[in-house]
Homo-oligomer: A and B are copies of this chain.
């Protein structure tokens, strides 16, 4: 990392949709009957959330939210991370706050008192270990620039943002304020494209961001090909390599590719027994960002990212089940 004006308090500050996941097992027939597209994330309203929850089998609740998962992963490595996201003054808000703080992430956003509940993500895990997500954002969709503490952003080496934020105008404004605050403080901005449907919804905005603001871009294969409207991974790779400083492109079982101008690393997936792919991308980003903010070379960043992703997909749930710091030895 290049030197910045002041010593950073945090390695990474994440901003995203604060969600509690409700995980259940289901089969392809369930997805079909309820019009769900496998392995994607769809936004749903309160009514549809009720409907779908009613149809779902018994669940387990576990704190989630893409960027929050990533911050939990950074903390699990022993990194200093903080999180910004909007929760309500309700039981799911308490659960979210408890779990995030218990992982060692700094989280001090006050619960919103307006009566809109904390967001939840209904996740159906199919026997092929894919997860299909339906998100009711709840109060999370009101996350706006007022929720972004510019001093906190300035105190992190890298600010990490979810593409999902672009689904709501207030979220976009929050994103812009955060990116500005980071750049003003001489810090870096990192973006995950989140979901290929999300990319399709906001392609032009993302293309512009990647070129003008993003130091590290995270994307999986469907997302990066969707961004550049190409059909092959290699075509996307050639497009992105001079478009942002660093791109970390994940390809599920086929591993990942790290590209930074002329530097290219092809990293194998770390072998594991796949139980539930929820959190794979989130923990990949955690490993990468931890390593990057600790001045490790890009190939090591990729390898640590793969280790973290392998751990999280070997069990149910989107956050580490062991201390990632043991992966460092």
Chain A residues in the interface with B (C-beta under 8 A): 53-54, 56-63, 72, 90-92, 95, 98-100, 102-103, 117, 316-317, 319
- In the complex, A54→B98 CA distance in Å? 7
4 additional contacts, CB 8 Å, given A56-B98, A57-B102? Answer: A56-B102, A58-B100, A58-B319, A60-B61
* Contact between chains at B103 and A58 (CB < 8 Å): yes
A-B contact pairs, 15 of them (CB 8 A): A56-B98, A56-B102, A57-B102, A57-B103, A58-B63, A58-B98, A58-B99, A58-B100, A58-B103, A59-B95, A59-B99, A59-B102, A90-B90, A91-B92, A91-B117
When C-beta atoms are compared, the residue in chain B nearest to A60 turns out to be B62
From DSSP, what is the main secondary structure of chain A's interface residues? mixed
**How far is A63 from B117 in the complex, measured between Cα atoms in Å?**
20
In the complex, what's the smallest C-beta–C-beta distance from A49 to chain B, in angstroms? 11
Does the CB pair B98–A60 fall under 8 Å? no
| CA distance in complex: A179, B105 (Å) | 51
The distance from the CB of A143 to the nearest CB of chain B, in whole angstroms, is 20
Bound CA span A117–B54, Å? 22
Q: For residue A57, which residues in chain B have a CB less than 8 angstroms away from its CB?
A: 102-103
**What separation, in Å, do the CA atoms of A103 and B98 have in the docked complex?**
28
Residues of chain B with a CB closer than 8 A to A95's CB: 59, 61
Q: How far is the CB of A119 from chain B (nearest CB, A)?
A: 12
- Alpha-carbon distance A319/B57, docked complex (angstroms): 12
Closest Cβ neighbor of A61 among chain B residues: B61
- A317–B98 contact, CB under 8 A? no
Q: Which residues of B contact A99 (CB under 8 A)?
A: 58-59
CA distance A53 to B319 in the complex (A): 19
In the assembled complex, the Cα of A246 lies from the Cα of B63 at a distance in Å of 44
Of B61, B98, B100, B317, which is within 8 A of A53 by CB?
Answer: B98
A75 vs chain B, min Cβ distance (A): 10
- Residues of B contacting A62 with CB < 8 Å? 60-61
Q: Which residues of B have CB within 8 Å of A72?
A: 58
Identify which of A57, A95, A317 gathers the most chain B CB atoms within 10 Å of its CB: A95
Return chain B residues, CB-CB under 8 Å to A103: 57-58
Closest B residue, CB atoms, query A100: B58
